[in-house]
Structure 1
Amino acid sequence: GPSGGPGPALPPAPPPDLHLLCEGQRFPADRAILAARSSFFGAMLSNRQFREAAQREVELPDVPARAMAAVLRFVYTDEGPELRTREEAEELLTAASKMGIAGLLRLCSDCLRDRWLTVPSSVSLLRLADEHGAHSLRGEALAVLGASFDEVKATPEWDDLLRSGMNPSLIQDTVQAVADASIYAGRASIKL
């Protein structure tokens, strides 16, 4: 308290009623908090058709442990993670998308845009953003791609994108971004 001693004791956290398993690590969690903050867990834990609804442990084989740790930290504290590498940011964006955690998806998307969106990365970040509904990152990647299309179309990532059978709206938006960039060439405000 004010005398410099310890403050009032916090009530003990409820014991975890669920463990999430990722890459052999166990993460304690609270069902009610997960269900409230994540549409993925909300659906899974409240629907008796999912066997996980009654289980005390849920295995998530396609979620890296470091991404799960960051997801839980965000779910409990609203604190964004320190993303040191592009790979980490992409991993976490994918996990946030899968788990339906819009605020975390937005944080990862903004981080990727601000720190790693360049001409060479524009195609792979466009694909990631398109796949996971990261709309602002998708728009920014399209703008970079459109403004530097001659450079982009010479990359192996561009060839991969064409061969991947990209969705028709992405093709249409890419063509539009190239057209917009040629019209507004003098007004582009993107870092290349």
Structure 2
Amino acid sequence: MDCSICTSMPVILRPPRNTICEACYEGARAIIDLVNNHLHSHDDQFGTDCQPNSCKTLGHVARWMSDKKAMENAIKEELSFLRAGFFTALRDQIHTDIQLKPANNGLSIPAHRAILATRSQIFKNMLDSDVCKAPPMDAITLPELSYEELECLLEFLYIGSLPTEKVNKHVNSLSLAADKYEIPYLSKFCERHMLGSLSSSNALDVLEISDVCSYISLKETALKFIVNNMDEIAFSARFEEFAIKNPHLCVQITRASLMGAKKV
């Protein structure tokens, strides 16, 4: 059956607009149902009055999508406004009231107590302590971070994101910092990045970090990846170093490999 929507005929030769094939009809119904289900679930979530089947045609769907796009653009503008303000405050050291020091007594970085306290419960506890409230104690040392890593941590705390090149370089140290200082969003951010960039060259590092930081899903994925690429990973120089440092993970890799071999 010729279809006025999916036909490859020139416009002048197309069948009437009310001629539609089964695939296009089912596709249109699926789109309309998808939007209505989305509206229904969000009404239930936020306790608003639900209007079943408020999108009755593809025209309604198109208008709904246009409205959503406008909302998305507005949210992007708001985020850009907020991020720019916070980043400017950090970069230009506007009314900073605390110093953060990296490892080896490196150069300190000025920051804002309010930002640190709202982003991390551990920082909040430290800043609420009597020792940190005293005037002479105007610095916090983060001995596990280098100056560059500390810069990245602060940038994330202020704007909630990092350039890809910085994440690639410091994702391991940022994951450990997120775990130590209880920064859940940074943990999720790092976990997503490691999951998306998993490869033979970094799988052992990802497994080690996911074990320390209790990224259960990521650990399972990394373990499975290592087992599936055992020939390449097991004979690398990195594996010898990894085995000495993480014998318990090597046991888990061995057991997973044996279980996988039994299933074949």
Does the alignment reach a TM-score above 0.5?
yes
Q: Sequence identity of aligned pairs in percent?
A: 24
**TM-score, reference length from structure 2:** 0.53
Give runs of aligned pairs for residues 30-45 of structure 1, distance below 5 A.
30-45=112-127
Given candidates 234, 238, 251, the residue that maps to 1:153 is 234
Deviations 1:87-133 (A, max 9, x none): 32223223323322121122122222322x21232122211221233
Please state how far the C-alpha of 1:61 moved relative to its aligned partner.
Answer: 3.3
Structure 2: gaps (5+ residues): 1-84
Normalising to structure 1: TM-score of the pair? Answer: 0.70
Match of 1:139 in 2: 220
Q: Which has the higher contact order (CA 8 A, sep 6+)?
A: 1
SS at match of 1:25: coil
Matched residue pairs, number? 168
- Could you say if the C-alpha distance between residues 165 and 96 of structure 1 is closer, same or farther in structure 2, counting changes exceeding 3 Å? closer
| Secondary structure of the structure 2 residue equivalent to 1:61 | coil
Residue of 192, 204, 210 corresponding to 1:129: 210
Match for residue 22 of structure 1 among 96, 102, 111: 102
Structure 1 counterpart of 2:177: 95
Q: 3-state SS of the aligned residue for 1:91?
A: helix
Structure 1 residue 37 displacement after superposition: 1.4
Q: Residue 207 of structure 2 aligns to a residue in which SS?
A: helix
Residues 63 and 165 of structure 1: CA distance in aligned 2, closer, same or farther (over 3 Å): closer
Cα shift at 1:179: 4.4
Q: Give the whole-Å Cα distance in 1 for the aligned partners of 2:101 and 2:178.
A: 16
Q: Deviations over 1:134-187 (max 9, x none)?
A: 3343222111112122332222332223322534xx4564345324544677xx
Whole-angstrom distance in 2 between the partners of 1:36 and 1:141: 32
**Which one is further off, 98-107 or 38-47?**
38-47
Post-superposition CA distance 1:24-55 (Å, at most 9, x none): 3332222233122113312322234xx44532
Q: Is 1:106 the equivalent of 2:188?
A: yes
Contact persistence 1:20–1:27 (CA under 8 A): yes
SS of residue paired to 2:164: coil
Alignment partners' CA distance in 2, 1:39 and 1:183:
46
**How far did 1:68 drift?**
2.1
Conserved 8 A contact 1:124-1:157: no
Is the partner of 2:257 in helix, strand or coil? helix
Alignment match, 1:188: none
What is the aligned partner in structure 2 of residue 61 from structure 1?
Answer: 143
* Structure 1 unmatched runs, 5+: 1-9, 186-192
Q: Matches of 2:145 and 2:133 in 1, distance apart?
A: 19
Query: Given residue 178 of structure 1, which amino acid in structure 2 is its aligned partner?
Result: S
> Which whole-Å CA distance do the structure 2 matches of 1:77 and 1:70 have between them?
11
